[in-house]
Amino acid sequence: MSAALVVEGLRKVFALPDRSRVHALEHVSFAVAPGETLAVVGESGCGKSTLAQVVCRLLEPSAGRIVLDGTDITTLDSRAMKPHRRQMQIVFQDPFASLDPRRTVGYAVGEPLRVHGLAGDAAALRERVGALFEKVGLERSQMAQFPHQFSGGQRQRICIARALALEPKLVIADESVSALDVSVQAQVINLMMALQADLGLSYLFISHDLAVVERMAHRVAVMYLGQIVEIGPRAAVFERPRHSYTKRLLDAAPIADPRQRRERPLLVGEVPSPRWPAGESPERVELVEHEPGHFAAREREMPPVDPSPTDPAASHRP
């Protein structure tokens, strides 16, 4: 069985007016199997959300390949890309911003079906939208309501229903539960896991919340300055982290019991800038396999966190 998603050597570089460049993604490679959740974790600014947008072609890659269900979609134009968008949908962090406040939520969930010419007549569309509402734990009677009449968790359920309307094989969740209360987070995560088991969905799960990732993911990729520095099965990464950045990231997560002691010092200062002067580029991180399926970069390849950054463009040096 082919992978739901394969990413090879993905790069995204933004040119700045002063001729410097931001290397948001550098040589990113991974695969997501059918029915699998790959979580991508890291601090803010590491390139997680850029990765999500490049994979679904909301941003164009600077280099590399994106293969969706066996088809290379990297250079397809908008017309050729349209049928492949049915196989890949995205759920964003802010459900309220994702919904048109002037339209009913039933209209929002049915919109992908209309755009792709799959709506049928009014009765058929209403039936399909109603079934989607029930699938995500909402009532059919709520289809006529507007976004402001729902809680944050309910709005995210609506966005998930809309993402499922086209029966995709891959769902990209970009911080999809980070704006929700902890109890509501648990409900939405349980919903996503139930939908995955029922529909065989693959998830590319973008998050900075390690507790959510530990609950949700099958495998974990750790990003630092636009590159993957460790990737492997969830248990291996959480219980036997190999890269010093992964270890410090795990130690920075909150601990419920204050009596527990941390083995390593916490991260201090700010993450170095991914901005490079014209003519310079970061070195490619080479991953080494430490155990089956568990890869990590060599320690010397990770620049240290700058405890007192001054010029952001100069704080990235190894």
Output the pTM of the full model.
0.86
Which stretch of 68-72, 206-210, 266-270 has the lowest confidence by average pLDDT?
266-270
Task: Give 177-215 pLDDT, tens digit per residue.
Answer: 877 778 888 898 999 999 999 999 999 999 988 888 999
Total residues found in the chain within this entry: 318
Work out the average pLDDT over 63-76: 94
So what's the pLDDT on residue 130? Answer: 95
Work out the average pLDDT over 125-131: 94
So what's the pLDDT on residue 271? Answer: 64
Q: At CA 264, angle to CA 258 and CA 269, rounded to 5?
A: 95
So what's the pLDDT on residue 30? Answer: 96
User: Is 80 exceeded by the pLDDT of residue 59?
Assistant: yes
| Whether the Cβ atoms of residue 271 and residue 223 lie closer than 8 Å to each other | no
Sign of the CA dihedral 296, 297, 300, 301? negative
Which stretch of 269-278, 280-289, 292-301 has the lowest confidence by average pLDDT?
269-278
So what's the pLDDT on residue 259? Answer: 60
Which stretch of 11-15, 37-41, 76-80, 266-270 has the lowest confidence by average pLDDT?
266-270
Domain range annotation of the chain: 5-87+168-314, 96-167
* DSSP letter (8 states) at residue 268: -
Pairing of strands 287-291, 88-91: unpaired
Mean residue pLDDT of the chain comes to 86
**How far is Cα 213 from Cα 218, in angstroms, rounded to an integer?**
9
Work out the average pLDDT over 95-118: 90
So what's the pLDDT on residue 257? Answer: 59
So what's the pLDDT on residue 308? Answer: 42
* DSSP letter (8 states) at residue 299: G
Work out the average pLDDT over 22-42: 94
Tokens describing residue 62: 């600077």
Q: Where are the alpha helices (DSSP H) in 200-311?
A: 210-216, 234-239, 244-251
The reply to whether CATH 3.30.230.10 applies to domain 5-87+168-314 is no
Task: Give 136-149 pLDDT, tens digit per residue.
Answer: 999 999 999 999 99
